[in-house]
Amino acid sequence: MKKIFLLLILCAFFLETGCNRPFFNTYTPSFEYTKANYSANPMEYLGKWEGDPMINVFELDGLPHDYLWQKKIGLYDSSEYFIMSKNVQEPIFRYEVYKVEIIRDKINFDGSISNIEGSLVIEDNQVIADMLSLRASGYGKDWEEFKIDPNTYYYNTVSFYFDLPCELSWESSIFFYEDENKSQKFYWRCYDVMNDRDVCYDITDVFTSLLKL
């Protein structure tokens, strides 16, 4: 039984890595890395993550090795994710974004979806630049500052698409909030990788005419 298990694991590894590089190559990162909420299509296999032969490392076409893709392979569980060096900025600060898509299905706190309305695609360079300026400023509120009833909280997914051959995209969200003065506002919730926190930016003025959520 153990032999069959090992054989299946080896087959999975070979299918993932292909034959362009030696199967048991290891990849040693030059810097300390962290995970980030980006998606992409991995390209060339670099090797197995040093210290964990269950993880395969791939490069991303159009990005330096400060940004990589990992795939953890197993019979009963598998995962893949974008990682980046802690010594560089997030891609959102370095690479051109050509499109933003707001999925207008409301994702409820319990994971259910309501009010399906399709998506809103934004390709206006000025609107995109205004959003990125907010993100770059860092002047937002910590998510923990909001007093939101989890039974009423919902959000809309916001995806940013980069002009890169690896089809890189970055995911964030927009939610509706009524403050203590009964003012109704839209906030853009982004994960700050370097500081390990969720930051929320007031985008009411930027998007009131566009969202109509």
Domain ranges of the chain: 2-85, 91-211
| 72 or 109, higher pLDDT | 72
131: closest CA among 97, 82, 94? 97
pTM of the model: 0.80
pLDDT above 50 for 190: yes
Q: Which of 4-8, 28-32, 76-80 has the lowest mean pLDDT?
A: 4-8
Q: Which of 5-14, 37-46, 153-162, 175-184 has the lowest mean pLDDT?
A: 5-14
Angle at 174 between CA 168 and CA 178, to 5 degrees: 170
pLDDT above 70 for 74: no
**pLDDT band of 14, cuts 50, 70, 90:** very low
186: closest CA among 210, 198, 203? 203
Angle at 141 between CA 183 and CA 88, to 5 degrees: 145
Q: What was the pLDDT predicted at 209?
A: 62
Residue with tokens 């939101």: 148
25-55 pLDDT per residue, tens:
888 877 889 999 999 999 889 988 877 778 8
Q: What was the pLDDT predicted at 76?
A: 67
